[in-house]
Structure 1
Amino acid sequence: MVVVALVVAIATYLTWLATRLDRLAARVADARGGLVAHLVARADAARELALRCELAELGESVARARTAYPDLLAGGALDAAVEQSENALSRALRSAEVAAAGQHHPAELHAVDSCAARVALARQFHNDAVRDLRALAGRRVVRMAHLAGRRPPASYFEIDDALPIRGEGVPRDDLPGLAS
């Protein structure tokens, strides 16, 4: 009787772990989908700003980033090539030319900055989900019981998504609550 109870307890625990792995994998997939959607939205907003303000460098960065989107939307990997093109777009969005052009088109600049903030959050959610999945998949009992199956390990998506600093010329005394 004790042996049966022990076998049932172990089977229940392993089933719970397998279910948890599946839920975390689904969370990673959902977070990846959200991240890709926000990357596309950021590129669309940046393209609008580049067209409106005639910013050639920004337009080229957007075009490079957009070449990967059909594959990403079809489930392709968030690989090093995607990271490089997104990093180039991030750098272009923080350029002085973009900030200067945004003075004349604040709505478009606000849309770009808003989308960039969403990309940063989406990347954080994605990487948090990947971390949780990798932590569980790396546990000894999961590896020994082969509960993770043959799915490839989830990978982090690391890009330079630091938000641009706008309004650098404003004196500190003019900002409420930030008196020197």
Structure 2
Amino acid sequence: MWWLAVLVAIVAAVGAYATWTVTRVERLHRRARTSESALLNKLDDRAETVLKFVGQPGFDEVVALALSVVAVPAETQRQRELREYAENDLTRALRELHPDPAWADDLEAANRRVALARQIHTDFVRDAVASRSLPMAVLLRLHHRLPRPQYWDIEDPVQ
């Protein structure tokens, strides 16, 4: 009868580990999705900050790029790629502007928030992707059930 107790203990341990693994993988994927939403919000906020300076000298190209950023949603893979290109163009255009005390602080703060949100998203995606290769996650085929989180290939606005 002792072997039955050992068998029950082993099954309970494996079940607990499987439950822990599934919970961890799902939680990391949820955090990656949430951080992506936060990143998109910060990118939209930066574009809206740029749009506040419509009519300022030298802002014509930057405002047009900001409008293209706001106009592109990130729902499909193609839209996501277009949004990445638009964000990178906006970042490059903002770097080329000569700082003016009237707007430099607002844009610098918006760029810092974007950089922080991008770093947090990158960290969560890295952790979620790594969790997909855990032995129990592979055994339970979680990589088929959960969509793979994606990195945002955008330039760091703070340099």
- TM class by shorter chain equals 0.7 to 0.9
Matched, 1:42 2:46: yes
Matched, 1:80 2:93: no
One-letter identity of the residue aligned with 1:141: M
Counterparts of 1:19 and 1:130, CA distance in 2: 16
Counterparts of 1:22 and 1:107, CA distance in 2: 45
One-letter identity of the residue aligned with 1:135: A
Counterparts of 2:55 and 2:37, CA distance in 1: 27
Q: Which string of whole-angstrom CA distances, capped at 9 and with x for unpartnered residues, describes residues 45-70 of structure 1?
A: 112224333522112211211111xx
Aligned to 1:137: 132
* Structure 1 runs not aligned, ≥5 long: 165-180
Aligned to 1:94: 95
1:9 to 13, 30, 45: 13
Q: TM-score w.r.t. structure 1 length? A: 0.78
Counterparts of 1:20 and 1:4, CA distance in 2: 24
Aligned to 2:117: 122
Identity of aligned residues (%): 31
Q: Displacement, 1:42? A: 0.5
Counterparts of 1:48 and 1:80, CA distance in 2: 26
* Structure 2 runs not aligned, ≥5 long: none
Higher relative contact order (CA 8 A, sep 6+): 2
**Structure 1 pair 108–157 and aligned structure 2 pair: CA distance change class (3 A):** same
Q: Displacement, 1:23? A: 1.2
**Structure 1 pair 50–109 and aligned structure 2 pair: CA distance change class (3 A):** farther
Alignment RMSD (CA, Å): 1.9
Equivalent residues, number: 154
